């Protein structure tokens, strides 16, 4: 199993899950902004053959290639059921887990990526500075909704750590790095989960 990634980007959540899972893997560090002729560039033809967008993450396992971080998390969890990343639970619990995953990806993370695109990722001529205010508004709205979706407990699902906790912690880490207004309880959530041994090992892999 190979994971292509870069620093604390979305690929970090997949790297963290691999460390939680105990599965054997190789990590290939990319620089998605490097010139295409560099072997580790996201625009290198060899990498574009795996991921046509030139983004990270990309997971390769035999003939399987996955390029969406949430799908990679589910795949890792299913390959290592003993990890508990997907709990052994009822259909109702799985429904809540799926709801949270979709909400995080579609609502909580979306304004963070909008911020990144309009600050540095998009070509300057198509960036819209006013989008930064919109992103702050949307993030604050998503956080208020999350308050109602999450239980008042240590973990997002039941009484154990799951892939939802990885998503939440990494997304709030992203928000903190981008200087969004993150309530203290979610800063504490990030800090608590990032102290897990698997998270610390993943941080060592990326040199953070």
- Boundary residue ending a domain (65, 83, 101): 83
Q: Identify whether residues 119 and 42 lie together within a single domain.
A: no
- The secondary structure of 101-151 as a DSSP string is HHHIIIIISHHHHHHHIIIIIS-GGG--TTHHHHHHHHHHHHHHHHHHHS-
Q: Is residue 23 part of a domain?
A: yes
Q: Is the pLDDT of residue 167 over 90?
A: yes
Banded model confidence at residue 74, pLDDT cuts 50, 70, 90:
very high
Q: Is residue 208 part of a domain?
A: no
Q: Cis omega (within 30 of 0) on the bond before 57?
A: yes
Mean pLDDT estimate for the chain: 96
Q: Identify whether residues 78 and 104 lie together within a single domain.
A: no
pTM exceeds 0.85 for this model: yes
Q: Is the pLDDT of residue 115 over 90?
A: yes
Nearest to 70 by CA among 110, 3, 13, 147: 13
Q: Identify whether residues 27 and 74 lie together within a single domain.
A: yes
- Boundary residue ending a domain (35, 67, 83): 83
The whole domain housing 66 covers 2-83
The predicted model gives 155-170 an average pLDDT of 97
């Amino acid at each position: 199993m190979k994971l292509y990634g870069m620093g604390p980007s979305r690929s970090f959540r997949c790297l963290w899950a691999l460390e939680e899972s105990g599965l054997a893997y190789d990590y290939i560090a990319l620089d998605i902004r490097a010139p295409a002729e560099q072997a580790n560039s996201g625009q290198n033809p060899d990498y574009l053959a795996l991921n046509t967008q030139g983004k990270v993450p990309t997971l390769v396992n035999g003939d399987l290639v996955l390029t969406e971080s949430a799908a990679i998390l589910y795949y890792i969890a299913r390959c290592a059921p003993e990890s508990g990343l997907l709990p052994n639970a009822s259909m109702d619990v799985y429904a809540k887990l799926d709801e949270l995953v979709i909400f995080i990806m579609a609502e909580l993370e979306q304004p963070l990526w909008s911020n990144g695109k309009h600050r540095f990722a998009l070509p300057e001529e198509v960036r819209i500075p006013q989008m930064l205010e919109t992103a702050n508004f949307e993030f604050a709205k998503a956080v208020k909704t999350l308050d109602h979706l999450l239980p008042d407990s240590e973990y997002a699902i039941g009484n154990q750590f799951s892939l939802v906790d990885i998503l939440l912690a990494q997304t709030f880490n992203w928000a903190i790095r981008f200087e969004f207004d993150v309530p203290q309880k979610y800063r504490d959530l990030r800090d608590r989960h990032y102290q897990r041994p698997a998270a610390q090992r993943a941080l060592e892999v990326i040199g953070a």
